[in-house]
Structure 1
């Protein structure tokens, strides 16, 4: 079965060690890949997710030691939301209090219980408690008990002037459909309850534009099963919406094209294949620094400037 939805979310962070500590030791995610920013190999590109780094579970970061903080605004991802079993929200609330994680009071959105919080760089995150996902596999390599652990993405919310133009891309190109409205929120879903199968658009006219920096989401990537599926999406964007993508870029673990959607958020289309076990066994994902072949000759120099993260 072909699954649509979010492939991964990439954000900007401050110090790499602090980023690793928060996402592995506080949220209990697995560091599934430790590599570098292919366009800036003097800095890391860190990937967190489930045991295998499956599409729909991956949150990635460009950590820059002295990055200036970003500013939330129009044309940006407002919040990145994870799924947890419905009965685990109390556990997470207590854990955030214990760990000193900035969080808000529980609220309801579309009938679901939401716990919003921020990471050390101010990135806006949330957990949503869902029934019936207890049996889904969870990463068990942290101190978060499996019954409470994160089960991939629930959704992202985009802060935009207008929902309709972006909604047209979500529905026509990515296989979503408008499912509900609540206040200023418009919800689009893939309809099959997969990880990352929801995008919410929050309509907020008159706000300042976003300014990228620490805590900002750099881009949201959507799934394409393979190169052919990706090419079909690229054709739809051009033929139906007049939008051109970049050329395909090989990211070692997926192949990507990028474009600005009508609300100015940077979108990516990433292939599900080949996956994160392409260059190291599943059992040891994230342990060694992995470099693409074109950077291997520079390994010694790259390792000399990267900070220790463990």
Structure 2
């Protein structure tokens, strides 16, 4: 069974600024340009690797006038990408060159970590992973392929008490505790390299988070198919008394949602059918894709959405 993170979804300000940063500065591929199915007046932009594989995807709801959020208890503290160990110097120089706010490299759990922020202040990090130089990477962007991001490393979560969140990760979502560093507990998905890490920081008494631009909306975890997803939902209810939503068809995966004990919104998303279901893999993200139920409103929706290159 394939476990780990499927994607991370965050909130952003202006769509053009978000697109420019993630495709140009970070060199990710825009793998899908669609709309928020629940609010079609705004885009839903998906960034990832060449094929848009689960574990490489960071998505955004960009609202032009979104108020800034605040990271706090019950929020994702940081979203982490994987880079080859040899690429740390390249990225440090690139951030200086492009004026990206960042800190000096630091060590966490024995790994070199370069933290930085996007234009909305979202907390991000590049984690240097040894031996991944040979992994495939998107080479159609502005970043040379040898230095390019190799998917998500994971996320770090800020909660009042790490134990109840850890119980969901280990009992339902296929993770195991592998290390501790102070108040941070590290969990890893079995047999998963990309999107395999969740760090949970217990910080009781810290301010509660506030949703807004620069914050994560939800984290989606992988289920191979409907049967695997249903088994996870059943275990969530049986062992933890938590009821997930009904399954929602998001075209590129089928999703259920629940609020975990620490207050974060979690999703369980199926690996299938993937992003090439409605456009060729060679031209992912090239045109605006709408779910079937919104297709009759295409002209009105396109008139509202801001222009993107």
Q: Is this a same-fold pair by TM over 0.5?
A: yes
Partner of 2:299: 300
Partner of 2:247: 248
Q: C-alpha distance in 2, partners of 1:114/1:21?
A: 23
> What runs of 5+ residues in structure 1 fail to find an aligned partner?
none
Shift of 1:163: 0.7
Partner of 1:160: 159
Q: TM-score, normalised by structure 2?
A: 0.99
Shift of 1:91: 0.3
Shift of 1:155: 1.0
Shift of 1:205: 1.2
Q: C-alpha distance in 2, partners of 1:190/1:284?
A: 31
| Deviation string, structure 1 residues 201-249 (Cα, Å, up to 9, x no partner) | 0111101111000000000000000000000000000000000000000
Q: Does 1:214 align with 2:213?
A: yes
Contact 1:85 1:129 in 2 (8 A): yes
Contact 1:15 1:66 in 2 (8 A): yes
Secondary structure of 1:177's counterpart equals: strand
Shift of 1:62: 0.1
Partner of 1:88: 87
Contact 1:188 1:199 in 2 (8 A): yes
Q: C-alpha distance in 1, partners of 2:148/2:44?
A: 24
Q: C-alpha distance in 2, partners of 1:28/1:272?
A: 24
Q: C-alpha distance in 2, partners of 1:228/1:194?
A: 23
After superposition, residues 1-310 of structure 1 pair within 5 angstroms as 2-310=1-309
Q: C-alpha distance in 2, partners of 1:129/1:198?
A: 14
| Deviation string, structure 1 residues 149-179 (Cα, Å, up to 9, x no partner) | 0000101000011111010000010111110
Q: C-alpha distance in 1, partners of 2:308/2:82?
A: 27
Greater shift, 231-240 or 183-192, is seen at 183-192
| Deviation string, structure 1 residues 38-76 (Cα, Å, up to 9, x no partner) | 000011000000011000000000000000000111000
| Deviation string, structure 1 residues 233-273 (Cα, Å, up to 9, x no partner) | 00000000000000000000000000000000000000000
Greater than 2 Å deviation, 4+ residue runs: none
Secondary structure of 2:80's counterpart equals: strand
Secondary structure of 1:115's counterpart equals: strand
Shift of 1:194: 1.7
Secondary structure of 1:122's counterpart equals: coil
Q: C-alpha distance in 2, partners of 1:192/1:242?
A: 28
Secondary structure of 1:267's counterpart equals: strand
Contact 1:3 1:194 in 2 (8 A): no
Greater shift, 190-199 or 24-33, is seen at 190-199
Q: How many residues align?
A: 309
Secondary structure of 1:302's counterpart equals: helix
Q: C-alpha distance in 2, partners of 1:230/1:307?
A: 35
> What runs of 5+ residues in structure 2 fail to find an aligned partner?
none
Contact 1:185 1:203 in 2 (8 A): yes
Secondary structure of 1:258's counterpart equals: strand
Alignment RMSD (CA, Å)? 0.6
Shift of 1:191: 3.7
Shift of 1:309: 1.5
Secondary structure of 1:129's counterpart equals: strand
Secondary structure of 1:210's counterpart equals: coil
Contact 1:188 1:198 in 2 (8 A): yes
